[in-house]
Amino acid sequence: MQKPLRDIRVLDLTNVLAGPFCCHQLAHMGAEVIKVETPGTGDLARQLGADAELNQRLMGVSFLAQNPGKQSITINLKHARGKEVFRKLVQSADVVVENFRPGVMDRLGLGYETLKQDNPRLIYCAISGFGQDGPLAELPAYDQIIQGMSGVMSITGDPQTAPYRVGYPVSDTIGGLTAAFAVAASLADHRRTEGYFLDVSMLEATLATMGWVVSNHLIAGKAPVPMGNENMTASPSGTFRTGDGLLNIAANKQEQFEAVCQVIGRPDLAVDERFAQRQARLANRAALTAALEAELASKPAVQWWQLLNEAGVPAGPVMDVPDTLAHPQVRDRGMIGEFRDAPGVGRDIRVVRTGFKVNREAPSVDTPPPELGQHTRTVLAALGYSDTDIEQLAKERAI
C-alpha cells in the first residue's frame, strides 16, 4: 500500500491512551513514529492491562494495543544533554505530539516557542484534558473525569442507573482521533512557511461528538436526559427482548415502522392512533415496546435479525466483544493485525488496526510494539551520534 504519510516523522511523547491512539493512527497511515519515553519506566501503559506478567515486563496489554509500528527511544528530558538530543531530533521531525499538563514542556525548556526555533515548520500537537488555557487548564484529567464533566455520564444508562460511565475510555479515544485529524489537516498545508500549534482539549473534543444532544439544549431548550437503550428521536428504535437474546431495532422512518408491524404479524399497530405517527409513538413508547416484545418472544434474535433486514428495517443482535471479533464481517476485513513472537512478549499478539481501508486495503504496520528504548542507538546514530557519544550519554543518564 502507498501510504499518505510515508515521508512524515512524528515524535510521540505521549502516555497511556489519547496521545498514543493519535500516533497509532498516524503510524498506520505511513508516518515514522518515534516514541520518546522516560528511561527506566516509559509509557505508563506499559504497566497496564489484564496480563500481570506483561505489566512486569513493561509490555502491558494497554501499551501493546496502541503502539505497533512505532520505534522507542529513551531520553531524559530533565537532563541538559537529554534536552540537546531531543532538540536535535526535533530538527528532523515534522510533528511533535505530547499530552503533558499545560506548561510542563515550557518548564522543561522544550515548549513550542523553543522548538520552532529548531524547526520553524514544526507541527506541535498538545493534548490535554481541558485545553491550554481556562480556569481548569492545569488540572489533571483522565478519561472518567472528562466523561463526568462533559455530560456523557449524565445521559448514559437509564433513569434508574444514570449517571453511568461508558464501558471503554471514550473521551481518551475521541481526544486521540481529534488530534490525529488536526495533525493530518495541518500536514496537508504544503505551502505553510511556519508551524502550527494544535491545542486539543479532550473535554471539547468529547462535546463536539455530542452535537445532537447538546443542540437539543442549545437550540430547542430541551435538557438531555438518560434514556437507556432508547433512541431520543424515534420509536421503535432501541433494544428489545426476544425469545433468545436482545435485538436492536432502528425503525427511524415511517415505512420502517410499518415494515416492523408486518414482519411481527401485527399490521394493526401501524394504524393504531397511539402509534400511527412519529410523535404519537414517542409519547407512547412504553406501550409500543410491550406490544412488540410480546411478538418478538416467539423467535430468537438471530431469526428476527434476518427477517427485519430482509424487510428493509435496520436491526442487529447485541453481541459481546469475542463474538464481534470472530464474526466474518470483522475477521475477514483485515481489522485485526497479528505479530508473531512479539519481542518482550514471548508469544503471538493480535491488535486492532484502524476503522477504514485505503484503496480497498486495511492500513497496517510492519513492526510490533517496541520494547522500551529498543531503537535508541539506531535513531541517535542516524542523527550523527557516534558509539562513543551514545555511550557517554548513557553514562550520564541523559538517555
What is the spatial distance between Cα 74 and Cα 397, in angstroms, rounded to a whole number?
10
8 A C-beta contact, residue 353 and residue 339: no
Each residue's pLDDT tens digit, 40-67 = 999 999 999 999 999 999 999 999 999 9
Whether residue 245 sits in one domain with residue 386: no
Is the omega angle on the peptide bond into residue 322 within 30 degrees of 0, that is, cis? no
Whether residue 198 sits in one domain with residue 247: no
Q: Is the pLDDT of residue 232 over 90?
A: no
| 325 domain-assigned | no
Please tell me which residue in 172, 272, 387, 389 is annotated as part of the active site.
Answer: 172
Each residue's pLDDT tens digit, 280-332 = 999 999 999 999 999 999 999 999 999 999 999 999 999 999 999 999 999 99
Whether residue 284 sits in one domain with residue 179: no
Each residue's pLDDT tens digit, 166-182 = 999 999 999 999 999 99
Among 54, 7, 29, CA closest to 353: 29
Whether residue 194 sits in one domain with residue 67: yes
Note down the domain range covering 277.
237-318
Among 268, 288, 318, identify where a domain stops: 318
| 324 domain-assigned | no
Answer with the residue of higher pLDDT: 232 or 150. Answer: 150
Report residue 356 as a C-alpha cell: 477504514
Each residue's pLDDT tens digit, 346-359 = 999 999 999 999 99
Q: Is 366 annotated as catalytic?
A: no
Average pLDDT value over all residues in the chain: 96
Whether residue 336 sits in one domain with residue 279: no
Flag whether the pTM goes above 0.85.
Answer: yes
Mean per-residue pLDDT, 72-89: 97
Q: Residue 272 is part of a domain; what is its CATH number?
A: 3.30.1540.10
Whether residue 293 sits in one domain with residue 339: no
| 158 domain-assigned | yes
8 A C-beta contact, residue 197 and residue 126: yes
Each residue's pLDDT tens digit, 7-34 = 999 999 999 999 999 999 999 999 999 9
Whether residue 243 sits in one domain with residue 147: no
| 302 domain-assigned | yes
Q: Is the pLDDT of residue 249 over 80?
A: yes
| 273 domain-assigned | yes
User: How does residue 164 score in pLDDT terms, banded at 50, 70 and 90?
Assistant: very high
Q: Is the pLDDT of residue 1 over 90?
A: no
Mean per-residue pLDDT, 243-256: 95
Q: Is the pLDDT of residue 231 over 90?
A: no
In residues, how long is the chain? 399
pLDDT confidence of residue 82: 97
8 A C-beta contact, residue 79 and residue 42: no
In our burial notation (b when 16+ CB lie closer than 10 A, e otherwise), range 327-357 reads eeeeeeeebebebeebebbeeebebebbeee
Whether residue 182 sits in one domain with residue 54: yes
Contacts of 89 (CB under 8 A, 6+ apart): 11, 34, 36, 75, 379, 383
Relative orientation angle of helices 202-209 and 211-218, to the nearest 10 degrees: 80
Whether residue 181 sits in one domain with residue 303: no
Among 318, 349, 365, identify where a domain stops: 318
pLDDT confidence of residue 145: 96
- Report the DSSP beta bridge partners of residue 169: none
Whether residue 56 sits in one domain with residue 157: yes
| 229 domain-assigned | no
Whether residue 371 sits in one domain with residue 349: yes
Report residue 32 as a C-alpha cell: 515514522
8 A C-beta contact, residue 67 and residue 20: yes
User: How does residue 190 score in pLDDT terms, banded at 50, 70 and 90?
Assistant: confident
Among 318, 344, 378, identify where a domain stops: 318
Backbone phi, then psi, for 241, in 5-degree steps?
-75, 140
pLDDT confidence of residue 258: 96
Q: Residue 40 is part of a domain; what is its CATH number?
A: 3.40.50.10540
Q: Is the pLDDT of residue 75 over 90?
A: yes
Contacts of 81 (CB under 8 A, 6+ apart): 393, 396, 398
| 173 domain-assigned | yes
Whether residue 201 sits in one domain with residue 111: yes
Angle among Cα 129, 135, 141 to the nearest 5 degrees reads 20
| 145 domain-assigned | yes
- Structurally, the chain folds into a number of domains equal to 2
